[in-house]
Structure formats: C-alpha cells, structure tokens
Structure 1
Amino acid sequence: MSSRVAREIVRDIAARGLGVGDTLEPESEMMQRYQVARASLREALRILEVHGLIRMKPGPGGGPIVSEVDSVEFGRMMTLFLQAKGIQFNELVEARLIIEPLAARLAAARHDPEDKEVLRRIVQDGLDAEGDEQWLAASNAFHATVLSMSGNGLIDLFARAMKEIFTERASAVYVARRRGHVRRTHSDIADAIIAGDADVAEDLMRAHMEEYARTVARREPQLMEEIVDWR
C-alpha cells in the first residue's frame, strides 16, 4: 500500500508541475486524496524522503516539501545497488568511458545556437579560472554542459551520477595541477561540438576520459579495485 501511494504522489507532483520547495498538502488532505490510513501515508512519504524526492520540514507550517531531483541523490541511491552487486570502481570508470564520448557525439549532432554560447562561456570560465577550487568548478561545469547538450535526459542523469560517485572518492588535486593541458583539451572538444563534428567530438572526449582514467589508476591504484560503497 505504501509503495502504491508513493507512486501516486510522484505522479501527482509531476502532473501538477510542482517544483523544488513546493509544499504538498497537509496530512489530512493527503489521507483523503489517496484514501489511505495515516501509517501507510507516512511510510509512503518516508520512501520518497529516503530516495531524495521530498524532505520533511519540521515544526508549525511544516510537512513534505519537494526536493531537487538531481544526479547527487540519484548517485547515492545507485551506490546501494552497486555495493550489493559488488561493482568495482574500474567498472564504473569503464562505463563512463563508454557514455561520455557518446554524449559528446550527441551534443555535436543535436546542438543549437543557445547551447553553443553556453559551452563557449564555460570553456572561457575554465581559461580564466584561478586556483584549484575555481578551476575544478569550471571543469565540472564543462562536463555537465556537454552531457546536458546530448539531448538525452537519461544519459545526462546517469552519467552525472556516475561522475559524482567517482569524483567524491578520487582525489582531484593532481587533476587540477594539469589544468593547462585539460583547458586545451576542453577547448578542442568544444570546438568540435560547436562545429557539429560528431566523430571528432567523440574521439576527443574518449581520449580525454581514457587519459583521466589512466591518471587516477596510476595515482590511486587501490581505488580501482575497491567495490563502490553505499553512501
């Protein structure tokens, strides 16, 4: 019963166009809407809270509030299943090596003028970045932009989640120290995407991701053989 009610709540959130920060009805109204007892409703809300779809605001005027559905929460949920299946980090990296070059190909094939300008600004942000923190933010934004330009929401969500899982555990300092080389690589990939050259965009992204994977494997070999843990 609680799982059924949870699915109905999700459908209603989408159908009513509720966004981040919107509050759902009071408990009494939800019990009436879904024709369910208080215990089953609260269990349904707990299911959605655990999956990061809502959060419970305490106190007067509180209640279930719609959360942002993002790759971080999706990645956290995914790690539960990855650990249960014994998936290692080298398998996670291999999956990224397949998906991100494909996303670059799709971005080049499906780009539009607005996407071009966004990508140009992101690349320029990387060129102008000073310090490791600013540079890493620009680098992450570049990959996120390419994924979003793929035009495929599932590829975008899945690839971002895998990136979140991996980069949360791998040190990024040594990558930041190589930012001159990575800047040029990002610029070349962006040029290929903007030009609509899908083959070149895919090849450059694959080479970029393979180089990154080799660097991590060399610097943190123990990580690659570890099982992805649930966090």
Structure 2
Amino acid sequence: MAQAPISTTSPAAKRRPKLAELISDDIKRWIAAEGLGEGARLPNERALMELYGSAKATVREALKILEVEGLITLKTGPQGGAVINQPGMEPASRMLRNFLHFQQLDGKQVYQLRKLLEVELAASVVGRLTEDDFQQLEANMAACACCGGEEDHRHQRFLELEFHQLLARACPNPLLAFMCQFLNDMLRDLVVIKKAYVPERKQFDHANQDYHRQLVEAYRAEDTQRVRAIMAEHMMDAEHHMSALEAEMAEQMLVSNDSLGTLIQRSKLHNL
C-alpha cells in the first residue's frame, strides 16, 4: 500500500536549515549588533572557519548566501574579502513577489492595501519634495503624455507606476516606503503577465495624467489635506479600471477556451 504524502504543513515536512544558512544568519546578527555599515569588512575566510569550526566550503557557501541577498560583495585579490553593502529593496521585493505569484494574486487584493498605504505615503511626503524631485515628477508626466502605440502604451503603464515610486523614495518612513514600492512592483508584474496595456485605455491614461498633475500642484502648495483627497480618489479610480480590465480579460479567456474546445472537438470528429 502506497504511503500517503506528507502534508507540507506537518512538522515532518519542515526542512532543517543547513549549517551554511545558520552561519549566514549569525553573521547578519553580528553585523546588526556591531552596527557595521557599508564598506566595512567581514573577517577573512580563515577567521570565520576558526570561529564556526567549519570547513572552507561551508563558510564560502554562507558568504555566497549573503552575497545573493545583497548584504555583501565578495572581492578577489590581495585586498579581497567580504565587504558589507547597503542592501536595496529589490532582492527582498523580488523574493516576496516570487512567493505571491503562486497565490493567484489579483488587482483587487493589491488595491485593498494600496488604497490605504498610498494615501498615507502621499501625505508623509508633503513639504519634503525638493526642486529636483519636482523636476523628476514633471519629466515623468511629460513622458507619459508622449506615449503612443502598443509598446509605448506598455511603457506608459510603467511610467505611471514610476511616478508613485518617485514619491516613495522621498518618504521618511522606510517601512511605508518599502510597502508602497513593493505593491507598485506587484502591479508592474501584473501589467506584464496580464498584458494590462492591451487594449489601449485612453480614459485611464487621461485620468492618471490628471491626478498626477493635481498631486504635483497640491505638493507645491504643501496642502496635505488636498494631497490626501486627490490620492484617495486616484486609487479608487485606478482600482475601478483594473477591475474592469481583469473582467474583460477573463471574458476573453473564456472565449479563447471555448474556441480551443471547438477546435479539439472538430479534430476528434475528423479523425473518426
């Protein structure tokens, strides 16, 4: 009799961490405890081997884990070794997005959070934007207005999200900034996967451009209440367009599946 598969939630299914993973975690704790910043060096391989009582291959694997996570850079040569980096958000964002891609995430779920967080982030940026920030925002809007054609339309969706990423980079709360940038990255992935730039949606384009223009005006006036109101309305409108798009694409998928089913049925009858 075949043995039943082990549930992925059972204790037996949990993988024990490798020694290299334990070492890399301990090094991360040590970096935080010592307050080491970008450019600082870790002890060399021999010192780490003695410290952890581990083979060279295990220590190298631990350092490679830290390098993949963006926490260190491994340099070769006489002045080589492990140098600490200031990690960016992209590695963490990518790993979370990879996990969520298997959860059948949709636009409604993204906007459930985005409607809350984007408004808070927008308000937190009031009075913090420099003239350089305003120039980047206005250049972004000008680029959006010039887009045309399918490939340009795809680029336009990315530019619209980049407008919000520019705001997130000025946010004084790193956790709020990370969450909003992460959600924008999720939407960017959905745009690519679901081809959310086809068909062209002029009404959506014009609405986005108008909301972005109003936001820049409110930021220049440092009117927090107006920034909140505009961003809240902008998120509601964007969710509406995303929902309409997903419904339209679901209908197209049904038609495509029906056509495929008809084709298969005809093929079977032809082969009888």
Fold-level similarity (TM above 0.5): yes
Matched, 1:157 2:178: yes
Q: What SS class does the counterpart of residue 94 from structure 2 fall into?
A: helix
Distance, in Å, in 2 between the alignment partners of 1:181 and 1:4 is: 50
The one of 216, 222, 227 aligned to 1:196: 222
- 8 Å contact 1:106–1:151 — kept in the other structure? yes
Match of 2:239 in 1: 213
Distance, in Å, in 1 between the alignment partners of 2:41 and 2:157 is: 34
The one of 88, 109, 128 aligned to 2:105: 88
The one of 126, 135, 141 aligned to 1:121: 135
Q: CA RMSD in A?
A: 3.5
Match of 1:44 in 2: 62
Distance, in Å, in 2 between the alignment partners of 1:172 and 1:55 is: 37
| Code of the aligned partner of 1:104 | A
The one of 94, 99, 110 aligned to 1:76: 94
1:176 Cα deviation after fit: 8.0
1:188 Cα deviation after fit: 1.1
Distance, in Å, in 2 between the alignment partners of 1:49 and 1:94 is: 34
The TM-score, its normalising length taken from structure 1, stands at: 0.72
Distance, in Å, in 1 between the alignment partners of 2:112 and 2:44 is: 46
- Say which structure, 1 or 2, has more relative contact order (CA 8 Å, 6+ apart): 1
Distance, in Å, in 1 between the alignment partners of 2:53 and 2:186 is: 37
1:212 Cα deviation after fit: 1.6
Q: What SS class does the counterpart of residue 130 from structure 2 fall into?
A: helix
| Code of the aligned partner of 1:105 | A
| Percent of pairs with identical residues | 22
Change (3 A) 1:153 1:87: farther
Aligned length: 214
State the Cα deviation string for residues 98-121 of structure 1 (Å, max 9, x = none). Answer: 11111001112xx23xx2313320
Match of 1:229 in 2: none
Distance, in Å, in 2 between the alignment partners of 1:212 and 1:187 is: 15
Distance, in Å, in 1 between the alignment partners of 2:84 and 2:156 is: 32
Structure 1 residue ranges without an equivalent (≥5): 224-231
Change (3 A) 1:65 1:169: farther
1:218 Cα deviation after fit: 1.2
Match of 1:144 in 2: 165
Matched, 1:31 2:52: no
- 8 Å contact 2:23–2:52 — kept in the other structure? no
- 8 Å contact 2:117–2:180 — kept in the other structure? yes
Distance, in Å, in 2 between the alignment partners of 1:64 and 1:93 is: 40
Change (3 A) 1:166 1:218: same
